[in-house]
Structure 1
């Protein structure tokens, strides 16, 4: 087989195999690992204590024995149908990128990712809540902070967070779209770029850097992710993020990918450090959580 044909075959094969190990797992796992590595020792001990109660969730095919497994539990349970159907809309918030930032209209009745980040943190912080519910809150919180760090879960232009924007990732095409590129291929590329993995993303950060990145509110983080969807995701692919919708299939080029890698790494890093702060607050002696009423 000619070299070029072989390369095209490998790339096409990656289009079918990469997503299983991409953001849906790799991104969430990296956010979770960063968080676990940066919480206080007492917080870490409480997390492990909850994870040891995994049998309470009664989802044997979706275990939570490790923080990595916990980070993808909320996706793993989706095939269970009616049992967890209520949580489907909790993974995203379709805030229009072509209008002023308006989180309220996208979060009606609390059915959006930012509202659920706050709600799950409150449930986790409440020691009066049964262990099963606190463990579930931990699993949801870890996953949803990963979702919030992914811009295509925060911004939208009437296309289901980019799911309806057909696009190519270099030579990879077919079922790819703007959302799947950011959820999978681009996130995997960014995390695996040296220095790679959770340790690589936090390399050379000072204590002051980590505190600065973790600062802010869930609303602040939502606005930041929404802005990234407009200025990075849509703009890099379409040019004008609010222009006429293209009937063609645009391509995210290698040059585009190279320019986006630092931004994607920063977003995943921020998701992990912010999750660590929420976990320290919720499981700390003051049992703090966003929006908590005293």
Structure 2
């Protein structure tokens, strides 16, 4: 019986769309740790009451871990937003105004609204907070605002040094892992912002966050000229500043959202 259960959960993991995975464990924890450093005292207390001893960095990975439970399969499309190529910012805004499908934009809007409800049951507070922490990280991973046909770059085969990989996975975790830092070390290395910078990033509408990732992903697609193109030292050198900015903006904006809800 135990072996059957094990095989069942392995099958579920392979069945779930690869598209829904974003920032590996380190990336999500970095976003959560950055956000934690910019919480107001009131927001910090409210979050502590919901998460208990679970830090935001640790809570950030729960929505990926829970994919082993088919009960939560319905959350899979909440992690990304597929868009047509060639959209202007105005066209993107128009699309989101009429967007009704279950994607990162509609569900993040829903979750934020729900968390502002003081009567929300405790179990939903915990679920929704974990999801907000995770999804705001997700949408700052450029390949989570990518193309439908290739599952956000999962079907774009590349070589990462000598290993077979894909464009999505490179941006999920391989670029981050290549820096050989823990999430706390990584956060300390990049977490330098001014009050004016944080204010600007946090005041920008959510559609702007998506559009930034959308623009980056379009450039990343264009760079891949052939199947199994080798990405290595020069790719890291070219994109590390961009990667760090996406992580940093994700954390700063997450803090802004949580301060708005709880602070």
Task: Tell me which interval the TM-score lies in, with the shorter structure as reference length.
Answer: 0.7 to 0.9
Structure 1 contact 236–256 (Cα < 8 Å) conserved: no
Whole-angstrom CA distance in 1 between matches of 2:195 and 2:145 = 28
Query: Which of residues 209, 224, 229 is equivalent to 2:212?
Result: 224
Residue 126 of structure 1 pairs with residue 117 of structure 2? yes
Partners of 1:189 and 1:261 within 8 A in 2: no
Question: Which of the residues 226, 235, 250 maps onto 2:222?
Answer: 235
The structure with more radius of gyration: 1
CA separation in 2, counterparts of 1:190 and 1:234?
Answer: 23
Give the whole-Å Cα distance in 1 for the aligned partners of 2:228 and 2:36: 39
Find out whether 1:138 has 2:134 as its counterpart. no
Report if aligned partners of 2:50, 2:126 keep a CA contact under 8 Å in 1. yes
Q: Unpaired runs of 5+ in structure 1? A: 1-21, 53-63, 239-245, 285-294
Match of residue 44 from structure 2: 44
Partner of 2:147: 156
In the alignment, does 2:75 pair up with 1:78?
no
Does the 8 A contact of 2:23 with 2:141 survive in 1? no
- Kindly indicate whether residue 165 of structure 2 is the aligned counterpart of residue 186 of structure 1: no
Contact 2:99 2:106 in 1 (8 A): no
| Count of paired positions | 238
Cα offset, 1:157, TM superposition: 5.9
- Supply the RMSD in Å over aligned alpha carbons: 2.4
Q: Could you tell me how far apart the structure 2 residues matched to 1:178 and 1:44 are?
A: 36
- Give the structure 1 partner of residue 254 of structure 2: 275
Q: Which has the larger displacement, 269-278 or 129-138?
A: 129-138
Name the SS of the counterpart of 1:180 in structure 2: helix
| Partner residue, 2:15 | none
Correspondence 1:196-275 to 2 at 5 A? 196-203=185-192, 205-231=193-219, 233-238=220-225, 246=226, 248-275=227-254
Distance 1:110 1:206, change over 3 A: same
Matched with 1:114 is: 105
**Residue aligning to 2:30:** 30
Alignment equivalent of 2:85, drawn from 94, 97, 100: 97
Counterpart-to-counterpart distance in 2, 1:107 and 1:187: 35
Inter-partner Cα distance in structure 2 for 1:188 and 1:44: 29
TM-score, with length taken from structure 2: 0.83
Which has the higher relative contact order, 1 or 2, with Cα contacts under 8 A spaced 6 or more apart? 2
Counterparts of 1:168 and 1:106, CA distance in 2: 38
**Offset of 1:98 from its aligned partner?**
3.9
